[in-house]
Every structure is written in C-alpha cells, then in structure tokens.
Chains A and B, each alone.
Chain A
Amino acid sequence: DSGVTQTPKHLITATGQRVTLRCSPRSGDLSVYWYQQSLDQGLQFLIQYYNGEERAKGNILERFSAQQFPDLHSELNLSSLELGDSALYFCASQGQGNNEQFFGPGTRLTVL
C-alpha cells in the first residue's frame, strides 16, 4: 500500500459525458501528478500540482482539467469523453526533497 488513494476504482460511462477522478496523496506530500496509461500510448504524464498550484503540464487534452484543493487532494475532470479516453488513470504523490513518486491504485475508465 503506497498511501495514495484513488476513487473510484472503476468507472464506466458513455461518450460525451463528464467524469471526475479523485486522488488523495500520502500524508504530508505536497505534489500530485496525474498519468494516463493506455495500451497504445503507454504511460503519459498529464499534469502536476504542487501545494494547490499547477506546476507542470504534459500531454493533457483541453477537454481535461485538474485542480488541487487546500487539503491537498486532487481531482481530474474529463469532459466530452471519447472512446479513446478509455484508459487507466493513475495519480502519484511526491514529498519535498524526495524525488520518488508513490503511485495510487488507479482508476480504470471505460467509455462506451
């Protein structure tokens, strides 16, 4: 158990819909990272937040957005969903001065 939690574990929805994925980092970690893992694209970095502020952006679509709240949990919002958005979405947290990332169990999103 990494100490990072993600909900829900599985999500099945239809094209055009909007979903919110939630991540709680390890206690004390200020950084949260979001990744998308699919069979054809591999592990793709989406976005990073540090203490409530966006720190770095990767291959994140404009239909996707994220935020980190004062209690440091983070949410990833995916809208106008397409079939190709079906993937595993991981979040990872990282402590200050320690570059190791700890991954959550992931949310498996299926868009039908």
Chain B
Amino acid sequence: AQSVSQHNHHVILSEAASLELGCNYSYGGTVNLFWYVQYPGQHLQLLLKYFSGDPLVKGIKGFEAEFIKSKFSFNLRKPSVQWSDTAEYFCAVNAYSSASKIIFGSGTRLSIRP
C-alpha cells in the first residue's frame, strides 16, 4: 500500500534560518507530489506541486521542493523562514493507479521564533 512519511513532527526555528522538511513516499510507479500548508485556524492550501519535468519545483512564498526519484523523496525547502511561516505542512502523493486518491503525510508543525 502507498504511504507517505514525514519524519519531523515538530520543527522549531528562528527567523532567517533555513528550512528543510522531509517527505518520503512508498510507491514505485509514476506519482504526482504536493505540499500543502495549513496556517493556524485555517484550511489546507496548496504550496506547490510536481507532476513532471524539472524536479526542482518552485511554489508560493519562496518555498521550493526537489523530487528525487531514486530516494522516493520530495523535501520542502526555504532558504530563510519568517515568523509568518508558522504553520503545519503536509506532504501528499497521488499515484497514477489509485483513482485520484491522494495520500497525505501526518504533517510537520513548524514553529518560528521571532
């Protein structure tokens, strides 16, 4: 069965620090990959997505993610975080064979110290 792992449950950083959140998935075929963000008290919003092409994907608010097929990974990065990045981040995977069902990771809570 497909699964998505986010190993960091809670990450605490200071403003201007660099961020990398890990995401690994288990599926050997073609996948679409997503990162969603949930700001406190709000619904999930799409940060970025990878369908095909350049494995380095740029999203909104300065976020980027790199798809490394050999490592089954899609890590999220930001060179310099801001206090407003405090949120929960979810990695998600859709495998072409799964009738459009998207599997979400358990989420990583990011806290930024001002």
Q: Interface of A with B (CB < 8 Å)?
A: 2, 31, 33, 35, 42-43, 45, 48, 50, 55-56, 90, 92, 94, 99-106
Which residues from chain A contact B100 at a C-beta distance below 8 Å?
31, 48, 50, 55, 94, 99
10 example contacts (A-B, Cβ-Cβ < 8 A) are as follows A31-B100, A43-B90, A43-B104, A45-B104, A90-B44, A94-B100, A99-B51, A101-B46, A102-B46, A105-B42
- Contacts A42-B107, A99-B94, A100-B34; is A56 near B45 (CB within 8 Å)? no
Which residues from chain A contact B45 at a C-beta distance below 8 Å?
2, 103
What separation, in Å, do the CA atoms of A99 and B34 have in the docked complex? Answer: 9
B87 beta carbon closer than 8 Å to chain A: no
**Contact indicator B99/A56 (Cβ below 8 Å):** yes
Look across to chain B and name the residue whose beta carbon is closest to the beta carbon of A31.
B100
Which residues from chain B contact A55 at a C-beta distance below 8 Å?
99-101
Contact partner of B103 among A42, A45, A90, A104, CB < 8 A?
A: A45
CB distance from A78 to the nearest CB of B (A): 19
What separation, in Å, do the CA atoms of A35 and B44 have in the docked complex? Answer: 11
**Contact indicator A2/B103 (Cβ below 8 Å):** no
Look across to chain A and name the residue whose beta carbon is closest to the beta carbon of B92.
A101
